[in-house]
């Protein structure tokens, strides 16, 4: 038996790949929106595709924002993926409309400034020292597909008791957060479940850190 992990099921999209990728990484996976099950799991994965506002609406409908908050208060690990990372920030701005996120991290999700958007495909990342997620896979490429990103990491990352480790990526002259690790809260802008062996290694690193 591996660590038990819940993939939060809110709204539509491709969740099958996330479930299978977590299983491949050694987790016992449950796909559910049940509050208590999500609260109790050793690890919680928050996927997410589509628009920030629609995702927040879906998340709130299953009280996902509360589950995330309560888990973090108890030091229990949460991993956000793609829009599941974006909604952890304070606000999202899409088509001029500002939407409140979960606010676990300060910062704004805004449109990428590049000639060709979405940022779609395999890109490299700049990994800080001490990263758990990227241990042994610092030089790999990961699969991104998004039009919005976090340009400025606003959390005071000099705080010695709870250091944030922020991984960046560059595209078309812009630069944004590719991943962040901050105590029990981790997140990736790219899709580890779609990033082949490198993505599998990252998920294994996270699952291993749960036990």
Cβ proximity to other proteins, 55 vs 68, nearer residue: 55
Residues near other proteins, by CB under 8 A? 12-17, 20-21, 24, 49-51, 54, 83, 115-124, 141, 143-147, 170-172, 191, 193-197, 199-200
Rounded CA-CA distance 191/167 in Å is 14
Residues contacting 5, CB < 8 A, separation 6+: 22, 27, 28, 29, 30, 41, 42, 43, 44, 45, 207, 210
Rounded CA-CA distance 138/25 in Å is 18
Rounded CA-CA distance 59/120 in Å is 25
In the complex, least distance from residue 93 CB atom to other proteins, rounded to whole angstroms: 15
Residue 82 falls in the annotated catalytic set: yes
Residues contacting 151, CB < 8 A, separation 6+: 108, 110, 174, 175, 176, 177
Cβ proximity to other proteins, 35 vs 143, nearer residue: 143
Cβ proximity to other proteins, 69 vs 196, nearer residue: 196
Residue 191 falls in the annotated catalytic set: yes
In the complex, least distance from residue 161 CB atom to other proteins, rounded to whole angstroms: 33
Rounded CA-CA distance 186/180 in Å is 6
Rounded CA-CA distance 200/194 in Å is 9
Cβ proximity to other proteins, 25 vs 72, nearer residue: 25
Catalytic residue among 55, 82, 102, 104: 82
In the complex, least distance from residue 194 CB atom to other proteins, rounded to whole angstroms: 5
In the complex, least distance from residue 191 CB atom to other proteins, rounded to whole angstroms: 8
The residues assigned a catalytic role are: 82, 191, 193
């Amino acid at each position: 038996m591996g660590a038990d992990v819940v993939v939060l099921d809110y709204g539509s999209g491709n969740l099958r790949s996330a479930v299978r990728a977590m299983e491949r990484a050694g987790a016992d996976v449950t796909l559910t929106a049940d509050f208590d099950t999500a609260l109790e799991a050793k690890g919680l994965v928050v996927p997410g595709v589509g628009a920030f506002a629609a995702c927040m609406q879906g998340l709130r409908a299953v009280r996902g924002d509360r589950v995330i908050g309560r888990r973090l208060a108890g030091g229990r690990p949460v991993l956000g993926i793609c829009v599941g990372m974006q909604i952890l920030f304070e606000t999202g701005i899409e088509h001029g409309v500002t939407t409140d996120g979960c606010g676990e991290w300060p910062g704004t999700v805004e449109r990428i400034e590049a000639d060709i958007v979405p940022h779609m495909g395999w890109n490299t990342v700049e990994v800080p020292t001490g990263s758990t997620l990227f241990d042994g896979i610092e030089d790999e490429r990961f699969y991104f597909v998004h039009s919005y990103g976090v340009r400025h990491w606003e959390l005071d990352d000099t705080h010695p008791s709870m250091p944030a480790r922020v991984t960046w990526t560059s595209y078309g002259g812009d630069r944004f957060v590719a991943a962040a690790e901050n105590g029990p809260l981790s997140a990736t802008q790219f899709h580890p479940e779609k990033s082949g062996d490198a993505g599998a290694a990252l998920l294994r690193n996270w699952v291993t850190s749960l036990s």
